[in-house]
């Protein structure tokens, strides 16, 4: 285990734990407004200060972590559960019409920046956490499809796959039995990275008001609130920002550490 | 005084010993061959002379080139030497050239970095050098890119780059291993001619003793980082002192005796088979072109017969193999096993498949690294309607592993715990486990060291006696095909140009292509050595 | 080469056609009728019908799609439901903010990433490499809009070197306009530069392991000469891919950054249109963004061919 992996896992672990703890305990009730105590810089009572309604920022960050992590997790889940089978299918039928259609479909989704997908969905169905999940999830599908297909294609050329074909195994069976176990490492690493990108995307969507809606706290919304206050209460912007950066940094370091641990030659996509 | 003198060279990479006290000389105009099996350190010796060692390498001892010690020279002086005084040719012509630069620019570069030459003059000199290695300007202009050339032509470009400055020493690291046998002969002749014409010392690294015996003035035999024997070629071959040298020599020309069988009724019948591939259209909406990989091929393999298929790369033997195994459909013709078609409709025929198995070339790529040996070799059971379970399955595994000379306890190991030769045994066990009527060996011994290859060939002969196998043995290596087959097919450009009894074809080939193949294959001098005991132990 | 270009062009046209269909279809299923939204719930049926006719909402969908697409081909993007002025005019005005911003950021990102990536690759495993890699690891983790807020806090509020937001306009001269785009461009560019530098480094390290690099060294090139003459151009292929992808991220990221700096670009237009349910504007701006992405990828494909002769030869 490398130090990178342990450090990354610790960083990400802190925020995941904070999110879980927030279900049973937070220092203050993040829903209660306390106007007299507003805009306090970090101090002994409010470790990370208070916002413009006097809410405790530490508590808001803990509850906000729930939103960020849940949205990112579900979005990556959508991407994996659709993208991996599509990628396996395309690779099993490489060169066929199915492959062509899947890959062209991927290119098409890539032509819509994730935010544009979110905007389209919001324009039609309205803003909200669920739509943010769908928007980020859609964007994750081609990422997983592409990387799965790429890795699977090189495996299909290997002799042990030919031997399995000579043994009469079907494309589906070979994909599940031989291909999938041999690309798990790659997928684990890519998932960590997509998860961190999901956290960033959720923050961006909430920031422009396309993600979780009030009163649900989220890191992006906290930053949106902070924007007008940034000159008088910079801690309102700094604290949630640090939360995002540290979580994403932790996940990325974890991804790098996992890659070094599992197989340093893995090709992951990071955009 | 010799041109190159390596004295007590020790080399370790990350404190792991690679070379131990290696000493040898190369004189001007002399061709010295360094030979040995994988892991012998022969390539590292070449890289040490170039001082292009991988990171973490530590070397001590002296490498004297014309009086200066290369191990002590600072990097800028080494750069001035490389390409100017020492040229190097590598194994893989497909990857040794920069794909985005023209061959002219790449050859001219060698000239421009070592001399103050104008661009135009460097181009003229590059053109001369290319013409000298057999790539005249009228057919191979300087503006060609590497991907527009064949493997042999690319190797000529690499040679041109190496000799453009008329170096005193040329190092060739397995220069023909990646090439076909006829191309190999041409490249070897070219290297010999250049060395003689320029009075260059040529240090030739090769695993193939036959190549060495033909052209080298002196031979150095290496094993596990040490020189076991060196001497003048004829003297060394006629009086091999070290048992390893004798083993290497015997294994290189290893012959096996197949049990006599009377061919039974036809088992595999191939009739007028053709396979086309579409090539990219010439115009945007025009018709796509057609490349005929297999062209009207017909042959029969009788039950109990051991048939060979030889041909150079691109002759269509891989395509034919895939068609026989039912992995690819053919456009016309029929392939039947015992009268039943390999393909029924658009699906491979399972009833036929379970009677055929295959052993592939690459001992490393043939197995799923995540499965245990037991699961790997049981894979063909998938073909059976009622695969054995429990003790019957266990018994089959034990039997198959024992048959190929491994232990039943090996079944629980993972594939990375085995050497290349052992893996190839496991591959054979996998093919044997359902007792197929036909086994296809697709270059099954081509990736192995000669000593391991000899053992696998012996195993094959034993299995022939024990199981009365019928097989199709596909290989580019004529000497191997000659010893393990009864009959042979010669394939060229998608067609079978000659077929017949193996010995008859090898002693009296009729087709000009077969003749050229046999003439080009390097052979060891027949020294009539007694086969040392313990070779196959 | 001509066949390659033609083939890419064909694929560009098909992509655009499919994308336009998708966008149109998504907007079509949007619940709520723009006309009733504009007039409110108490609108008379006759006025509603009149408005629907005026907006062209009463014709069959296929016809509306064709009108929209052919209109866009001739530069007619329709008329905004809310402002009743041609969408094309609105978009053109905003484009003069968003496009320069994206290009400015792309230039910055490339200018930072190339030297950083090459430097790190040349010093693989040494302190210089570790420093650059650590910095990029942080750069990848920072949300660009948060970074933008920090830039405003430091350079606009504390140091007062730049204004905190707004756009000077091109009438004030290119210098003033570029000045008001500088902070936004930096905010956009830095995280992307971090990614690009990592890609540049790993592409170069991959190339350094290639056989032809060893051949180059055997000719007598120094390690540095080999890197510049043989390594860089071969490493450009993955790097170009990422630059192409980044353009779409910069356009989309621009939408957010415009919010931070109150820039009158496409991003603000699109958000205003969503809240006003001015769907024809949303539709056209989305199409424009997608067109930009597809077009840039077409350019990247052509750049591949310029870099790699093997592509020119193939189909």
What are the extents of the domains in chain C?
A: 2-61, 92-313
Residue range C170-192: mean pLDDT, rounded: 87
At A140, phi and psi to the nearest 5? Answer: -75, -25
Whether chain B has a CB inside 8 Å of the CB on C215: the answer is yes
- Contact call for residues A131 and A78 (beta carbons, < 8 A): no
Query: How confident is residue B528, by pLDDT bands cut at 50, 70 and 90?
Result: low
Contact (CB<8Å) B370/A160: no
Residue among A115, A207, A270 minimizing CB distance to C252: A115
Contact (CB<8Å) A223/C145: yes
Residue B284 scores a pLDDT above 60: no
Q: Which of 2.40.40.20, 3.40.50.720, 1.10.1740.10, 1.10.3720.10 would CATH assign to domain C92-313? A: 1.10.3720.10
Whether chain A has a CB inside 8 Å of the CB on C140: the answer is yes
Output the pTM of the full model.
0.86
Residue range B44-51: mean pLDDT, rounded: 94
At C123, phi and psi to the nearest 5? Answer: -115, 40
- Contact call for residues A204 and A115 (beta carbons, < 8 A): yes
Residue B408 scores a pLDDT above 50: yes
Question: Which residues make beta-bridge pairs with B310?
Answer: B475, B490
Contact (CB<8Å) A166/B365: no
Q: What is the pLDDT of residues B449-479, one digit of tens each?
A: 999 999 999 999 999 888 888 999 999 888 8
Residue B168 scores a pLDDT above 90: yes
Residue range B210-237: mean pLDDT, rounded: 91
B205 versus C314: which is more confidently predicted? Answer: B205
CA-nearest residue to A156 within chain B is: B365
Query: How confident is residue A3, by pLDDT bands cut at 50, 70 and 90?
Result: confident
Contacts C230 to B, Cβ<8 Å? 98, 101
Substitution target in C141, C197, C258, C277 with the highest count of A β-carbons within 10 Å is C141
Whether chain B has a CB inside 8 Å of the CB on C228: the answer is no
User: Looking at residue B486, what is its pLDDT?
Assistant: 93
C194 versus A168: which is more confidently predicted? Answer: C194
Query: How confident is residue A212, by pLDDT bands cut at 50, 70 and 90?
Result: confident
User: Looking at residue C268, what is its pLDDT?
Assistant: 85
At C285, phi and psi to the nearest 5? Answer: -65, -40
- Chains in contact with A, counting 3 or more C-beta pairs less than 8 Å apart as contact: B, C
Contact (CB<8Å) B370/A182: yes
Residue B522 scores a pLDDT above 50: yes
Of chain B, the percentage scoring pLDDT greater than 90 comes to 62
Substitution target in C146, C253, C262 with the highest count of A β-carbons within 10 Å is C146
Tell me the residues of A at the C interface, defined by beta carbons under 8 Å apart: 104, 107-108, 110-116, 119-125, 196, 200, 203-204, 207-209, 223, 226-227, 230-231, 234, 237, 241, 244-246, 248-249, 252-253, 256, 270-271
Give the pair of three-digit tokens for residue B457: 């060939």
Contact (CB<8Å) A166/B357: yes
Burial class, C150, CB count within 10 angstroms (exposed 0-12 / middle 13-18 / buried 19+) = middle
Residue range C33-45: mean pLDDT, rounded: 70
Specify the range with the lowest mean pLDDT, choosing from C76-80, C150-154, C195-199. C76-80
Query: How confident is residue C31, by pLDDT bands cut at 50, 70 and 90?
Result: low
B8 versus B344: which is more confidently predicted? Answer: B8
Name the nearest CA neighbour of B275 among B353, B333, B358, B345: B333
Q: How many CB pairs under 8 A join A and B?
A: 51
Q: What DSSP element (H or E) covers B250?
A: helix B243-252
Query: How confident is residue B535, by pLDDT bands cut at 50, 70 and 90?
Result: very low
Tell me the residues of A at the B interface, defined by beta carbons under 8 Å apart: 158-160, 162-169, 178, 181-182
Q: Which of 1.10.10.60, 1.10.3720.10, 3.40.1020.10, 1.10.8.50 would CATH assign to domain A3-16+65-270? A: 1.10.3720.10
Specify the range with the lowest mean pLDDT, choosing from A253-257, C2-6, C189-193. C2-6
Query: How confident is residue C38, by pLDDT bands cut at 50, 70 and 90?
Result: low
Give the pair of three-digit tokens for residue B280: 């990219």
- CA torsion sign for B357, B361, B363, B368 is negative
Specify the range with the lowest mean pLDDT, choosing from B232-236, B324-328, B439-443, C30-34. C30-34
Contact (CB<8Å) A163/B348: no
User: Looking at residue B533, what is its pLDDT?
Assistant: 42
User: Looking at residue B136, what is its pLDDT?
Assistant: 93
Residues B513 and B529: their CA atoms lie apart, in Å, by 31
Name the nearest CA neighbour of B455 among B242, B207, B246, B251: B251
Contact (CB<8Å) C212/B96: yes
The residues, any chain, with a CB within 8 Å of residue B512's CB and separated by 6 or more, are none
Residue B537 scores a pLDDT above 80: no
Q: What is the pLDDT of residues A72-127, one digit of tens each?
A: 999 999 999 999 999 999 999 988 899 989 998 988 888 887 778 887 887 777 78
Query: How confident is residue B15, by pLDDT bands cut at 50, 70 and 90?
Result: confident
User: Looking at residue A111, what is its pLDDT?
Assistant: 82
Query: How confident is residue B482, by pLDDT bands cut at 50, 70 and 90?
Result: very high
Name the nearest CA neighbour of A109 among A134, A74, A72: A134
C2 versus B193: which is more confidently predicted? Answer: B193
Name the nearest CA neighbour of B275 among B253, B265, B290: B290
Q: How far is CA A193 from CA A20, A196, B66, B278, C131, in A?
A: 21, 5, 56, 40, 21
At A53, phi and psi to the nearest 5? Answer: -105, 10
Q: Give the ipTM.
A: 0.88
Q: Among residues 374-393 of chain B, which lie with CB inside 8 Å of chain A?
A: 376, 379-383
Residue B21 scores a pLDDT above 80: yes
Beta strands in B158-250 (DSSP E): 169-173, 201-206, 218-223, 226-232
User: Looking at residue B280, what is its pLDDT?
Assistant: 66
Q: How far is CA C102 from CA A76, C139, C140, C259, C266, in A?
A: 28, 18, 18, 15, 11
Helices and strands counted in chain A (H then E): 10, 0
User: Looking at residue C315, what is its pLDDT?
Assistant: 43
User: Looking at residue C215, what is its pLDDT?
Assistant: 93
Contacts C152 to A, Cβ<8 Å? 230
Burial class, C160, CB count within 10 angstroms (exposed 0-12 / middle 13-18 / buried 19+) = exposed
Contact (CB<8Å) B92/C3: no
Query: How confident is residue A265, by pLDDT bands cut at 50, 70 and 90?
Result: low
- Contact call for residues B487 and B176 (beta carbons, < 8 A): no
User: Looking at residue A269, what is its pLDDT?
Assistant: 66
Query: How confident is residue B331, by pLDDT bands cut at 50, 70 and 90?
Result: confident
Residue C312 scores a pLDDT above 60: yes
Q: What is the pLDDT of residues C235-263, one digit of tens each?
A: 988 888 888 888 878 887 888 898 888 88
Tell me the H-state helices in chain C. 2-28, 34-39, 45-55, 61-73, 87-122, 127-141, 144-151, 174-208, 211-218, 223-226, 232-261, 266-275, 279-307, 309-313
User: Looking at residue A264, what is its pLDDT?
Assistant: 67
Contact (CB<8Å) B382/A162: no
Give the pair of three-digit tokens for residue B339: 């009268």
CA distance C143 to chain A (A): 6
Specify the range with the lowest mean pLDDT, choosing from A176-180, B218-222, C140-144, C247-251. C247-251
Query: How confident is residue C40, by pLDDT bands cut at 50, 70 and 90?
Result: low
Please give the mean pLDDT across all residues of chain C. Answer: 85
Q: How far is CA A168 from CA A154, A171, B252, B353, B380, in A?
A: 20, 10, 37, 7, 8
Residue B413 scores a pLDDT above 80: yes
Residue among A158, A160, A169 minimizing CB distance to B382: A169
User: Looking at residue C187, what is its pLDDT?
Assistant: 93
Contact (CB<8Å) C219/B92: no
Phi-psi region of C32 (alpha: psi -120 to 50; beta: other; left: phi over 0): left
Residue range B514-534: mean pLDDT, rounded: 73
User: Looking at residue C248, what is its pLDDT?
Assistant: 78
Give the pair of three-digit tokens for residue A89: 């299918």
Query: How confident is residue A270, by pLDDT bands cut at 50, 70 and 90?
Result: low
- CA torsion sign for B420, B421, B426, B432 is positive
Q: Among residues 257-286 of chain C, which lie with CB inside 8 Å of chain A?
A: 259-260, 270-271, 274, 279, 282, 286
User: Looking at residue A36, what is its pLDDT?
Assistant: 80
Whether chain A has a CB inside 8 Å of the CB on C294: the answer is yes
Residue among C157, C256, C282 minimizing CB distance to A123: C282
Q: What is the pLDDT of residues A112-121, one digit of tens each?
A: 877 788 878 8
- Contact call for residues B161 and B122 (beta carbons, < 8 A): no
Residue among C218, C219, C310 minimizing CB distance to B99: C310
Query: How confident is residue B109, by pLDDT bands cut at 50, 70 and 90?
Result: very high
């Amino acid at each position: 285990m490398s130090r990178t992996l342990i450090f990354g896992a610790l960083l990400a672990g802190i925020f995941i734990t904070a999110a879980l703890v927030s279900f049973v305990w937070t220092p203050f009730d993040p829903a209660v407004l306390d106007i007299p105590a507003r805009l306090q810089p970090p101090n002994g009572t409010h470790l990370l200060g208070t916002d413009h309604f006097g809410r405790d920022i530490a508590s808001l960050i803990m509850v906000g972590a729930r939103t960020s992590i849940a949205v990112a997790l579900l979005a990556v889940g959508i991407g994996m559960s659709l993208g991996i089978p599509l990628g396996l299918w395309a690779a099993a039928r490489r060169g066929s019409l199915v492959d062509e259609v899947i890959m062209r479909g991927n290119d098409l989704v890539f032509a819509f920046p994730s935010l544009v997908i979110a905007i389209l969905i919001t324009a039609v169905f309205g803003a909200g956490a669920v739509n943010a999940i769908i928007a980020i999830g859609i964007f994750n599908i081609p990422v997983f499809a592409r990387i799965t297909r790429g890795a699977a294609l090189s495996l299909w050329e290997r002799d042990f796959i030919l031997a399995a074909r000579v043994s009469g195994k079907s494309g589906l069976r070979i994909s599940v039995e031989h291909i999938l176990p041999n690309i798990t490492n790659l997928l684990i690493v890519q998932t960590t990275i997509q998860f961190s990108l999901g956290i960033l995307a959720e923050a961006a969507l909430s920031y422009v008001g396309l993600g979780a809606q009030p009163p649900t706290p989220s890191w992006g919304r906290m930053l949106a609130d902070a924007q007008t206050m940034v000159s008088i209460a910079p801690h309102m912007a700094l604290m949630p920002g640090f939360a995002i950066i540290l979580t994403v940094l932790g996940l990325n370091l974890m991804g790098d550490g996992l890659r070094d641990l599992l197989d340093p030659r893995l090709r992951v996509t990071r955009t | 005084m010799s041109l190159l003198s390596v004295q007590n060279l020790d080399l370790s990479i990350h404190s792991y010993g690679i070379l131990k006290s290696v000493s040898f000389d190369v004189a001007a105009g002399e061709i010295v061959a360094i030979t040995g099996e994988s892991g012998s350190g022969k390539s590292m010796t070449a890289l040490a002379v170039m001082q292009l060692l991988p990171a973490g390498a530590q070397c001590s001892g002296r490498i004297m080139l014309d009086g200066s010690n290369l191990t002590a020279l600072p990097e800028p002086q080494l750069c001035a030497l490389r390409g100017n005084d020492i040229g190097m040719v590598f194994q893989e012509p497909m990857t040794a050239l920069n794909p985005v630069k023209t061959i002219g620019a790449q050859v001219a570069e060698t000239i421009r970095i070592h001399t103050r030459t104008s661009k135009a003059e460097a181009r003229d000199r590059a053109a001369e050098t290319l013409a000298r290695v057999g790539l005249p300007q009228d057919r191979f202009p300087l503006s060609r890119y590497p991907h527009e050339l064949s493997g042999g032509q690319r190797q000529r470009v690499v040679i041109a780059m190496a000799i453009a400055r008329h170096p005193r020493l040329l190092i060739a690291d397995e220069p023909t291993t990646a090439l076909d046998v006829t191309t190999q002969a041409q490249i070897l002749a070219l290297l010999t001619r250049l060395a003689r014409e320029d009075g260059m010392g040529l240090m030739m690294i090769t695993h193939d003793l036959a190549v060495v015996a033909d052209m080298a003035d002196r031979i150095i035999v290496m094993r596990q980082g040490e020189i076991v024997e060196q001497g003048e070629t004829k003297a060394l071959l006629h009086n091999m002192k070290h048992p390893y040298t004798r083993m290497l020599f015997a294994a290189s020309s290893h012959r096996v005796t197949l049990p006599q069988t009377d061919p039974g009724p036809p088992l595999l019948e191939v009739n007028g088979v053709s396979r086309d591939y579409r090539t990219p259209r010439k115009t945007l909406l025009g018709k796509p072109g057609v490349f005929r990989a297999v062209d009207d091929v017909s042959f029969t393999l009788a039950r109990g017969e051991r048939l060979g298929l030889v041909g150079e790369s691109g002759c269509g033997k891989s395509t034919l193999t895939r068609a026989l195994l039912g992995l690819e459909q053919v456009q016309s013709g029929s392939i039947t096993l015992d009268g039943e078609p390999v393909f029924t409709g658009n699906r491979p025929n399972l009833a036929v498949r379970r009677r055929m198995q295959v052993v592939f070339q690459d001992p490393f790529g043939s197995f799923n690294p995540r499965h245990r040996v037991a699961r790997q070799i049981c894979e063909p059971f998938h073909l059976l309607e009622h695969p054995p379970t429990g003790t019957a399955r266990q018994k089959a595994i034990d039997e198959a592993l024992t048959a190929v000379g491994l232990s039943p306890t090996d079944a629980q190991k993972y594939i990375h715990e085995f050497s290349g030769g052992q893996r190839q045994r496991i591959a054979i066990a996998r093919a044997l486990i359902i007792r197929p009527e036909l086994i296809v060996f697709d270059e099954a011994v081509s990736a192995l060291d000669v000593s391991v290859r000899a053992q696998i060939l012996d195993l094959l002969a034993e299995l022939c006696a024990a199981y009365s196998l019928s097989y199709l043995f596909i290989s580019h290596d004529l000497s191997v095909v000659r010893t393990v087959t009864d009959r042979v097919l010669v394939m060229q450009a998608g067609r079978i140009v000659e077929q017949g009894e193996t010995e008859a074809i090898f002693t009296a080939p009729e087709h000009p292509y077969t003749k050229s193949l046999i003439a080009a294959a390097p052979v060891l001098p027949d020294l009539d050595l007694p086969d040392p005991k313990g070779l196959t132990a | 080469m001509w066949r390659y270009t033609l083939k890419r062009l064909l694929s560009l046209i098909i992509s655009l056609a499919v994308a336009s269909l998708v966008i149109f279809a998504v907007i079509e299923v949007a619940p709520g009728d723009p006309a009733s939204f504009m007039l409110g719930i108490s609108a008379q049926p006759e006025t509603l019908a009149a408005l629907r006719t005026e907006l062209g909402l009463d014709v069959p969908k296929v016809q509306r799609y064709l009108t929209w697409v052919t209109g866009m081909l001739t530069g007619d993007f329709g008329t905004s439901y809310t402002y009743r002025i041609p969408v094309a005019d609105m978009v053109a005005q905003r484009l003069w903010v968003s496009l320069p911003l994206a290009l400015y950021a792309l230039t910055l990102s490339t200018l930072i990433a190339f030297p950083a990536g090459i430097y790190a690759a040349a010093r693989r495993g040494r302190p210089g490499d570790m420093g650059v890699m650590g910095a990029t690891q942080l750069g990848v983790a920072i949300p660009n809009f948060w970074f933008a807020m920090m830039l405003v806090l430091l350079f606009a509020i504390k140091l007062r070197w730049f204004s905190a937001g707004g756009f000077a306009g091109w009438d004030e001269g290119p210098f003033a306009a570029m000045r008001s785009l500088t902070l936004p461009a930096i905010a956009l560019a830095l995280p992307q530069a971090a990614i690009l530098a990592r890609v540049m480094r790993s592409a170069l390290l991959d190339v350094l392991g290639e056989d032809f690099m060893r051949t180059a060294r055997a000719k007598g090139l120094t390690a540095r000469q080999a890197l510049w003459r043989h390594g860089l151009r071969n490493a450009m292929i993955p790097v170009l891919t990422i630059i192409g992808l980044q353009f779409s991220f910069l356009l989309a990221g621009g939408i957010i950054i415009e919010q931070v700096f109150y820039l009158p670009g496409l991003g603000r237009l699109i958000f205003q249109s969503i809240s006003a349910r001015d769907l024809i504007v949303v539709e056209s701006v989305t199409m424009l963004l997608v067109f930009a992405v597809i077009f840039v990828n077409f350019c990247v494909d052509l750049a591949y061919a310029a870099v790699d002769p093997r592509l020119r030869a193939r189909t």
